[in-house]
Amino acid sequence: MPHPGLTAVCKNFRYNPDAFSSQLLLILGHIHGCVVNLPLVQFPRGTSSFQAVNVNDKSMVMKRTRVISLFDGISTGLVSLNQSGIIPDIYCSSEIDQYCLKVQRFNHGDKIVQLGDVRDLDSSALKQLGQIDLLMGGSPCNDLSLVNHRRKGLFDTTGTGVLFFEFLRVMLYLKNKSEWEQRQFFWFFENTSKMEMKTKETISRYLGCEPVKLCSSVYTPMKRQRYYWTNLPVSEQFLTESMPNEVMELQDLLCGSGRTAALKCLPTMTSNLTNMVKGGHLPVYDGNDGPSHMYLSELEKVFGLPVNYTAGPNTPLAERKKQLAKCWDTHTINHLLASFKSAVSFSTQV
Ligand X SMILES: C[S@@+](CC[C@H](N)C(=O)[O-])C[C@H]1O[C@@H](n2cnc3c(N)ncnc32)[C@H](O)[C@@H]1O
In sequence order, the β-bridge partners of residue 281 are 278
If one asks whether residue 96 binds ligand X (CB under 6 A), the answer comes out as: yes
**Phi, psi torsion values for 114, nearest 5 degrees:** -85, 125
- Report the C-alpha gap between 10 and 149 in whole angstroms: 33
Smallest gap from residue 30 Cβ to ligand X (A): 19
Which among 225, 200, 126 has a CA at the least distance from the CA of 166?
126
# chain residues binding ligand X, by CB under 6 A: 19
Does residue 141 have an active-site annotation? yes
Is residue 214 a contact partner of residue 223, using CB atoms and an 8 Å limit?
no
If one asks whether residue 222 binds ligand X (CB under 6 A), the answer comes out as: no
From its phi and psi, is residue 172 left (phi > 0), alpha (psi between -120 and 50) or beta? alpha
Span from 27-35, 149-157, 279-287, 325-333 in contact with ligand X (CB under 6 A)? 325-333
CA dihedral over 235, 238, 242, 247, signed as positive or negative: positive
- Which one among 28, 85, 97, 209 touches ligand X, defined by CB under 6 A? 97
- Which one among 23, 65, 94, 216 touches ligand X, defined by CB under 6 A? 94
Smallest gap from residue 267 Cβ to ligand X (A): 18
Is the CB of 65 or the CB of 75 nearer to ligand X?
75
Secondary structure in 3-state letters for 261-285 = ECCCCECCCCCCHHHHCECCECCEE
Tell me which residue has its CB nearest to ligand X: 73
If one asks whether residue 156 binds ligand X (CB under 6 A), the answer comes out as: no
Is the CB of 19 or the CB of 337 nearer to ligand X?
337
Q: Amino acid identity of 163?
A: L
Is the CB of 94 or the CB of 342 nearer to ligand X?
94
Which among 238, 240, 336, 254 has a CA at the least distance from the CA of 298?
254
- Which one among 92, 135, 163, 195 touches ligand X, defined by CB under 6 A? 163
If one asks whether residue 326 binds ligand X (CB under 6 A), the answer comes out as: yes
If one asks whether residue 330 binds ligand X (CB under 6 A), the answer comes out as: no
Residues in 8-37 at the binding interface with ligand X, rule: CB under 6 A: none
Q: What is the dihedral of CA 313, 316, 318, 323, to 10 degrees?
A: -10
If one asks whether residue 151 binds ligand X (CB under 6 A), the answer comes out as: no
**Residue of 92, 100, 141, 327 with catalytic role:** 141
If one asks whether residue 76 binds ligand X (CB under 6 A), the answer comes out as: yes
Site string for ligand X, 111-130 (x = CB under 6 A): ------xxx-----------
Say how many Å lie between the first and final Cα of the chain, rounded: 48
- Report the C-alpha gap between 320 and 210 in whole angstroms: 33
If one asks whether residue 140 binds ligand X (CB under 6 A), the answer comes out as: yes
Q: Which residues contact 333 (CB under 8 A, 6 or more apart)?
A: 76, 77, 80, 136
- Which one among 19, 53, 73, 203 touches ligand X, defined by CB under 6 A? 73
- Report the C-alpha gap between 224 and 192 in whole angstroms: 9
Smallest gap from residue 111 Cβ to ligand X (A): 16
If one asks whether residue 95 binds ligand X (CB under 6 A), the answer comes out as: yes
Residues in 33-72 at the binding interface with ligand X, rule: CB under 6 A: 71
Please state, as a whole number, how many other Cβ atoms lie within 10 Å of the Cβ of residue 3.
Answer: 21
Smallest gap from residue 115 Cβ to ligand X (A): 8
The catalytic residue positions are 141
* Contact residues for ligand X, defined by CB under 6 A: 71, 73-74, 76, 94-97, 100, 117-119, 138, 140-141, 163, 326-328
